[in-house]
Amino acid sequence: MQGCIDPCLNNSRGRLPVVREPFQAKAKGPGGEVGHSCQPTKRAFLREWAYGPAGFTWLCPWFQSARSAIHPKEPAHLAPASAVVSASRIAIPDGFYLFLRLSKAQISRSVHVAMSAPAIPVRSFKADALQVHVFSTQPQLAQYVALYVRDYLAETLARQGSAAAILATGNSQIQFLKNLVELGGIDWSRVTLFHMDEYLGIPGNHPSSFRRYMKEKVESLVHPKAFHYLEGDCDLPHVECARYRSLLEAQTIDLCCLGVGENGHLAFNDPHVARLDDSEWVKLVRLDDACKMQQVKEGHFPSLESVPPYALTLTLPALMTARKVVCVSPEKRKAKPVREMLQGPINSLCPASVLRRNASAVLLIDEDSASLL
């Protein structure tokens, strides 16, 4: 059989896996062995794999080395029916064969199977209470953080039945959020979501609105229990701040995912307005020029003058109330604020330095953003 294995996507009918490039495989089922031999290839894309209620067995020694891709608490050759892991690009040795044992001809469910082990940090260390992991590349970082967040949310849901999370916008979050959405394994109908800032005076459908960003990249794709938005085009900003604070205080915040700005800010807590001991949870702030210039360089606005001068933001204490804080800060342009937040004093001149006081926080950076350490 030459070319791609490309069966019907309806795995409830027990079809074979969808593979975007050819490879050699055999499947064993109640009706006997079914083999598919394609030209050996170096790379393949496994999208979905069907399995029966009793699970399935991988017999390839090469694949067994990727223990965590199956299930960290089970033998590498066995994937229980509860296993849910990600899909990702893999390298396949020449002459690779895959064997699958199904418990029933009728397949009842499907899972996404990762054919490569999760990315591993090239080094890790602590800056005061803050755990820091450094990755070789930005794609590896994005893969790791998506798995990390997915597993944390899944464990939270299993433990308490619901979860609440605060998400960030910005270019540093795009690939992470994309990976997280594609992973699966989260019952989003039990997750309440918030975001952490919004420009004052622009409508929700503005191309640079953070509400639009979140609706397009998250809400419309996963359909959470609720997504509470900061209304930047409100008539009374201080009333809106109070409204959003009450929404945040209505439950424990289990997770906060954020990034570090080029001026060291978290959310829109720029150095001149940030307070490590702020009594407010949500407030109106004036953006500094460094913050506005970052928005221009990232392509969100055509000029410095076109960036709204004011914004609504969650404060540093509000962000730090989360049970787990995950900070993602890749790219060379973040090297200076990363150095200042990790090696400078903990104060409002570098608002991100507050993370060093938080033992429940983790900072994930790549070699570029770690280049000045």
One digit per residue, the tens of pLDDT, for the chain of length 373 reads 222 222 222 333 333 333 333 333 333 333 333 333 333 322 232 322 332 223 333 323 323 333 333 333 333 332 322 232 222 323 333 333 333 333 333 222 223 333 335 688 999 999 999 999 999 999 999 999 999 999 999 999 999 999 999 999 988 899 999 999 999 899 999 999 999 999 999 999 999 999 999 999 999 999 999 999 999 999 999 999 999 999 999 999 999 999 999 999 999 999 999 999 999 999 999 999 989 998 998 888 999 999 999 999 999 999 999 999 999 999 999 999 999 999 999 999 999 999 999 999 999 999 999 999 9
Q: Is residue 52 part of a domain?
A: yes
Instruction: Indicate if 227 and 303 belong to the same structural domain.
Output: yes
Q: What is the largest CA-CA distance in the chain?
A: 70
Q: Is residue 182 part of a domain?
A: yes
Tell me if residue 36 falls in helix, strand or coil: strand
CA distances (Å), 61 to each of 13, 16, 99, 208, in order? 29, 21, 11, 49
Which of 85, 111, 137 is the last residue before a domain boundary?
111
Distance CA 20, CA 342 (A): 43
Residue 170 has a pLDDT of 85
Instruction: Indicate if 231 and 297 belong to the same structural domain.
Output: yes
| Overall domain count for the chain | 2
Q: Is residue 6 part of a domain?
A: no
Instruction: Indicate if 144 and 247 belong to the same structural domain.
Output: yes
Instruction: Indicate if 267 and 175 belong to the same structural domain.
Output: yes
Residue 298 has a pLDDT of 87
- What one-letter code names the amino acid at 44? A
Phi, psi at residue 346, to the nearest 5°? Answer: -85, 100
Instruction: Indicate if 67 and 175 belong to the same structural domain.
Output: no
Instruction: Indicate if 238 and 263 belong to the same structural domain.
Output: yes
Q: Is residue 319 part of a domain?
A: yes
CA distances (Å), 179 to each of 171, 191, 260, 280, 368, in order? 14, 17, 20, 33, 21
Which of 63, 88, 111 is the last residue before a domain boundary?
111
Q: Is residue 3 part of a domain?
A: no
Instruction: Indicate if 237 and 186 belong to the same structural domain.
Output: yes
Which of 59, 80, 111 is the last residue before a domain boundary?
111
Q: How far is CA 134 from the centre of its chain?
A: 16
Q: Is residue 37 part of a domain?
A: yes
Residue 171 has a pLDDT of 87
Instruction: Indicate if 230 and 328 belong to the same structural domain.
Output: yes
Query: Closest Cα to residue 112, out of 92, 151, 152, 84?
Result: 84
Instruction: Indicate if 180 and 105 belong to the same structural domain.
Output: no
Domain coverage including residue 46? 11-111
Q: Is residue 2 part of a domain?
A: no
Instruction: Indicate if 211 and 250 belong to the same structural domain.
Output: yes
Tokens read off for 220: 């419309």
> Residue 298's domain is classified under what CATH number?
3.40.50.1360
Phi, psi at residue 8, to the nearest 5°? Answer: -55, 140
- What one-letter code names the amino acid at 261? G
Instruction: Indicate if 217 and 318 belong to the same structural domain.
Output: yes
Tell me if residue 132 falls in helix, strand or coil: strand
Q: Is residue 372 part of a domain?
A: no
Instruction: Indicate if 225 and 257 belong to the same structural domain.
Output: yes
